[in-house]
């Protein structure tokens, strides 16, 4: 393209447009004001979402990225603006979510002088970014932005942060843009080793009790069809991590449920009976493994992972396969024999029958007077034909929602996994709605997490986003309370909440809603919420001591899973 003279701020916006950016979440301030002034002239080309807090902006960008597959973009000013996005950046880092975060910074002559609203955001963000860089002259902007997008989206995705000094924003340059496709010394993806594929295929073909564990890497790698084909060909049961949910349809006959602390009975207890574990795009998080020394004790392990740092980090791999999940699965499909494991699959069905009797019926079809989280999730999933995008906050409601909401389509589950960020749900749901405007987005949030970012109701209202918000209200920090009940002799230390009138707050922002507390009104209330044109807030009063089971206690083996109190 022909070079043209522009300011650094204009170069930033033009660079974003070259990368196909159509949505930005942000909050203006003094140190990034030149960028916002430049953005004024590009209102038709890009949609800027003014959030009510910088944390809302970064979580909104996360929600957008997770459902769209494109990097989320976040703007913040220097000092407190920049530090306010750190939680979301850390969340995106551990959950491999691609973000490009732009922060304003004081002018370069003032760096290190403790100037007004100066903070060393580059130094602070090093541990929680895939890459960061401070731009001090305008000429650097196009090249650095191109590298930022390449790094954020290639290999194992993650957040990058670009800190832009005020003088760089005002400076001038001859603008030319070239997308980045390679950086010396940065190798985001290695070629899959065919010998390792053959070794894995031999183990798969001879295994009697194999189990597939799939995670977020399937969705990131667009490997959903390959996963399904691999499962169908080999007849191997498959279980999912929290972020792997929705990669395989819930109703697939070999989908055996969720792994981990509050996962399903079968995938947990049968892990130690498996003779082969095939882990694809997951990292053996502690919430999955429980006590590591007693995890998968009888199994050989095949680990397919794009990030070499995750291989052998927690669980030793007998056959490590480093590379893209889609490519690795394609190669495996070509090398494995068709098979069935009917007797092994039947063991999972027996576990399901046990869990159904002890847990599912109580959660989903309760006979006690108070409403349960499970029945709310079941009805909501049914009313949306299992096609909605589910966004959850963090806590008991999160685990219940992941367990009982059903999915037909990938990229339909948005939650904070590795960091477990309360306050994530509401802003992430608005980001998800921008990322998938034609989909029904349902946000399920606890009363505690809701109050951490409740101000983003203003953003939802201002943009008339048709997000359906369900607040499950038990007047407690429910997950902490459950642990206090089970492991601290019911000493409920500072977990009870005196909550406001959520419906009045919603209406104050211009969002309609109502409260339901009786079972006979629940189904109609959920239908009313779904049918409403625009955003809607449904508060559901649930039992205070409605607990989440099954549960693997901290430090216990997955074989020690508890089905009831």
Tens digit of pLDDT for each residue in 259-276? 999 999 999 999 999 999
Instruction: Determine which one of 10, 19, 25, 54 is catalytic.
Output: 54
User: Quick one: pLDDT band at residue 502, thresholds 50, 70, 90?
Assistant: very high
- CATH number given to 194-347: 3.40.50.1220
Share of the chain above pLDDT 70, in %: 100
Instruction: Determine which one of 10, 19, 62, 166 is catalytic.
Output: 166
Does residue 55 carry a catalytic annotation? no
User: Quick one: pLDDT band at residue 192, thresholds 50, 70, 90?
Assistant: very high
Instruction: Determine which one of 116, 170, 487, 488 is catalytic.
Output: 116
Give the closest residue to 88 by CA, choosing from 122, 46, 60.
60
- Which pLDDT score, from 0 to 100, does residue 476 have? 85
Beta strand pairing status for 413-414 and 441-446?
unpaired
Whether domain 373-541 has CATH 1.10.357.10 = no
User: Quick one: pLDDT band at residue 2, thresholds 50, 70, 90?
Assistant: low
- Which pLDDT score, from 0 to 100, does residue 486 have? 84
Tens digit of pLDDT for each residue in 126-147? 999 999 999 999 999 999 999 9
Are the folds of 4-175 and 373-541 the same? yes
Question: CA angle at residue 360 from 66 to 363, to 5 degrees?
Answer: 80
Alpha-carbon distance of 233 to 278, in angstroms, equals 14
> How many CA within 13 A on the CB side of residue 473?
21
Give the closest residue to 74 by CA, choosing from 16, 34, 150.
16
Tens digit of pLDDT for each residue in 368-419? 889 999 999 999 999 999 999 999 999 999 999 999 999 999 999 999 999 9
Instruction: Determine which one of 86, 93, 422, 479 is catalytic.
Output: 479
Instruction: Determine which one of 33, 42, 70, 117 is catalytic.
Output: 117
Cis, bond preceding 39 (omega within 30 deg of 0): no
Does residue 54 carry a catalytic annotation? yes
Does residue 62 carry a catalytic annotation? no
Tens digit of pLDDT for each residue in 57-77? 999 999 999 999 999 999 999
Question: Over the chain, what is the mean pLDDT?
Answer: 96
Whether domain 4-175 has CATH 3.40.50.970 = yes
Going from N- to C-terminal start, the domains of the chain cover 4-175, 194-347, 373-541
């Amino acid at each position: 393209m022909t070079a043209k003279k522009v300011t650094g701020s204009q170069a930033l916006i033009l660079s974003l447009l070259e990368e196909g950016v159509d949505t930005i979440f942000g909050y203006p301030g003094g140190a990034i004001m030149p960028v916002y002034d430049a953005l004024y002239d590009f209102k038709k080309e890009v949609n800027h979402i003014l959030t009510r807090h910088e944390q809302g902006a970064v979580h909104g960008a996360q929600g957008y990225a997770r459902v769209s597959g494109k990097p989320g973009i976040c703007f913040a000013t220097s000092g407190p603006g920049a530090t306010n996005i750190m939680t979301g950046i850390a969340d995106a880092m551990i959950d491999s979510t691609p973000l490009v975060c732009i922060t304003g910074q004081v002018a370069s002559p003032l760096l290190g002088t403790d100037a007004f609203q100066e903070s060393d955001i580059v130094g602070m963000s090093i541990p929680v970014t895939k890459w960061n860089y401070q731009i001090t002259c305008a000429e650097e902007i196009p090249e650095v932005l191109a590298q930022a997008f390449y790094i954020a989206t290639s290999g194992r995705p993650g957040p990058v942060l670009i800190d832009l000094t005020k003088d760089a924003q005002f400076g001038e340059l001859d603008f030319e843009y070239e997308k980045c496709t390679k950086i010396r010394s940065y190798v985001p993806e290695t070629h899959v080793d065919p010998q390792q594929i053959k070794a894995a295929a031999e183990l798969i073909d001879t295994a009697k009790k194999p189990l597939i564990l799939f995670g977020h890497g399937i969705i990131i790698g667009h490997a959903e069809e390959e996963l399904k084909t691999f499962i169908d060909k080999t007849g191997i049961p498959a279980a999912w991590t929290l972020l792997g949910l929705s990669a395989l349809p819930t109703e697939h006959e070999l989908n055996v449920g969720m792994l981990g602390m509050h996962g399903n009975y079968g995938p947990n207890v049968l892990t130690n009976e498996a003779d082969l574990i095939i882990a694809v795009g997951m990292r053996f998080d502690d919430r999955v493994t429980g006590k590591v020394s007693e995890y998968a004790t009888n199994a050989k392990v095949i680990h397919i992972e794009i990030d070499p740092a995750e291989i052998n980090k927690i669980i030793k791999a007998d056959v490590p396969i480093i590379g893209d999940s889609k490519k690795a699965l394609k190669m495996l499909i070509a090398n494995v024999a068709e098979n069935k494991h009917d007797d092994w699959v039947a063991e999972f069905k027996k576990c399901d029958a046990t869990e159904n009797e002890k847990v599912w019926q109580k959660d989903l079809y309760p006979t006690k007077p108070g409403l349960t989280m499970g029945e709310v999730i079941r009805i909501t999933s049914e009313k949306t034909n299992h096609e909605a995008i589910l966004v959850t906050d963090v806590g008991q409601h999160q685990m219940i929602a992941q367990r009982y909401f059903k999915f037909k389509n990938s990229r339909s589950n948005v939650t904070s996994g590795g960091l477990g960020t309360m306050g994530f749900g509401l802003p992430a749901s608005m980001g998800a709605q921008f990322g998938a405007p034609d989909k029904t987005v349902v946000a399920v949030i606890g009363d505690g997490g809701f109050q951490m970012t409740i101000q983003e109701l203003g953003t939802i209202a201002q943009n008339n986003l048709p997000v359906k918000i369900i607040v499950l209200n038990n007047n407690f920090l429910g997950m902490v309370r459950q642990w206090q009940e089970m492991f601290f002799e019911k000493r409920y230390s500072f977990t009870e909440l005196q909550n406001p009138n959520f419906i009045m707050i919603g209406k104050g922002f211009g969002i309609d809603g109502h409260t339901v507390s009786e079972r006979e009104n629940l189904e109609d209330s959920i239908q009313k919420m779904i049918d409403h044109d625009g955003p809607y807030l449904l508060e559901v009063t649930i039992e205070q001591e409605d607990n989440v089971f099954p549960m693997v206690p901290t430090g216990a083996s997955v074989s020690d899973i508890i089905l009831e109190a």
